Amino acid sequence: MPGTVRAVHVVLVNPQIPPNTGNLIRLCANTGNDLHLVEPIGFSMDDTLLRRGGLDYHERTRVTMHPNLDHVRSSLTGRFFAFSSHGTRRYTEVDFRTDDVLVFGTEQHGLGAATIQTFPDQHILTIPMLPHNRSLNLANAVAVVTYEAWRQRGFDGAGDPIDPVAGLTTERLGTEPFDR
């Protein structure tokens, strides 16, 4: 059931690459989070690449479209954190809460300076990287932070690692595996 074990809310502002968003639909389904997309987005929600990235997880994730970030802010009550390669506080310095909102920008440009300025300095976070690199892939960055937030909550709601679900190790779209 979507949204029943939410560790955080994930917000993508103007996502442009369908497979990234599809992968994040899948991530949110597997971590119990809600995904919020801020328009405009650079693809149709019916896009084949979006569907392929999300596999059959679309029904297991609550995805909400918002016309702008102000609409997200009026819809959610938690603390809002912006992610930027220019942030000065590491994401690991935050004790995440269930209602926290993680805000990520476009794949190409991240969050614009005007948007970042709307966040308190202590809520502008970064993921450490080696020097002289620009950024991580959006889906990877969201996964890193989402799993840290969930780890801090003891992986609440996760399946038992001693009793894994049989037959779920091969990626499938419908009945055909696509890892062959």
**pLDDT reading at 157 higher than 50:** yes
**pLDDT reading at 1 higher than 80:** no
Q: C-alpha 92: how far from its chain's center?
A: 16
pLDDT-above-90 percentage for the chain: 54
Q: How far from 111 is each of 27, 107, 119, CA to CA, in Å?
A: 21, 9, 11
> Regarding predicted confidence, which is higher, 108 or 7?
108
Region of 14 on the Ramachandran plot (φ > 0 left; ψ -120 to 50 alpha; else beta): left
Which token pair is 131?
């020097």
pTM of the predicted model, to two decimals?
0.84
Which token pair is 19?
């497979």
Alpha helices in 32-95 (DSSP H): 48-54, 69-75
For residues 140 and 26, give the distance between their C-alpha atoms in angstroms, rounded to a whole number.
12
> Which strands form 63-66's sheet, in the order they lie side by side?
63-66, 34-38, 9-13, 101-104, 80-83, 124-126, 89-90
Q: Which residue has the tokens 């997309």?
A: 37
Predicted pLDDT at 103 = 98
Predicted pLDDT at 47 = 57
> Regarding predicted confidence, which is higher, 171 or 129?
129
CB distance 39 to 72 below 8 Å:
no
Summarised one tens digit per residue, pLDDT across range 84-121 is: 988 999 999 999 999 999 999 998 899 999 999 999 99
**pLDDT reading at 2 higher than 50:** no
Summarised one tens digit per residue, pLDDT across range 13-55 is: 999 988 889 889 989 988 989 999 999 998 887 756 556 554 5
CB distance 103 to 81 below 8 Å:
yes
Domains, in order of start, for the chain: 9-177 (3.40.1280.10)
Predicted pLDDT at 158 = 85
